[in-house]
Chains A and B, each alone.
Chain A
């Protein structure tokens, strides 16, 4: 059964950095684009970024462009999101999600989420 597991969240101060990981299992990880979606406490879902199956393409929401970078290591079945210059409004649960079979940008597998708190 396909699974995604996020790790790396925590409490950090504004202006610092954090790297999240998303490990996949139970499917051919290197065949799938992986997205990041976040959810601020008590709020709705916000798409953040995507990396293509072969890392040849990345897209970001404007609010994180230049601060967040997504990468992947298919030999480790893992995607990373490097988050720099963190701000209090980046506080959220961060989910990684698999693009659906067929290649359309909706998400059929989600991780359990990793909480990032940016606070002084």
Chain B
């Protein structure tokens, strides 16, 4: 199985800060990576697919990059509404696997 490792597990930042979350795959997955946002008590929602393609309707302050085994999700200017847990997911191979999540807190 492909293991997905996210870091950090928690981060605290101020509104307006640039925030970066890293996701590493245990083997190459090309660009078959998605990012999701899960707000407290809600279902996840798709932010980015194919490592860097923004889902329709997602604010442009969210961006993704990377290929192979290393990927990043960047929030260019953190907003209070971005309070959530963020997950990466590989869709290269079954079983599909998720990273452990990064909880973003607003200072």
Contact = CB atoms under 8 A, between A and B. Distances in A.
Interface residues of B, number: 22
A110 B46 CA distance: 9
Interface stretch (A15-23, A42-50, A69-77): A42-50
A106 B89 CA distance: 8
A45 B91 contact: no
B23 to A, nearest CB: 12
For chain A, which range describes its interface: under 10, 10 to 19, 20 to 34, or 35 or more residues?
A: 20 to 34
A111 B43 contact: yes
A106 B46 contact: yes
Contacts of A62: 95
B100 interface: yes
Nearest to A107: B46
A106 to B, nearest CB: 4
Contacts of B36: 45, 107
B91 to A, nearest CB: 4
A13 interface: no
Given A100-B46, A110-B44, A113-B43, A44 B91 contact: no
B43 A44 contact: no
Interface of B: 32, 34, 36, 38, 43-46, 49-50, 55, 87, 89, 91, 94-101
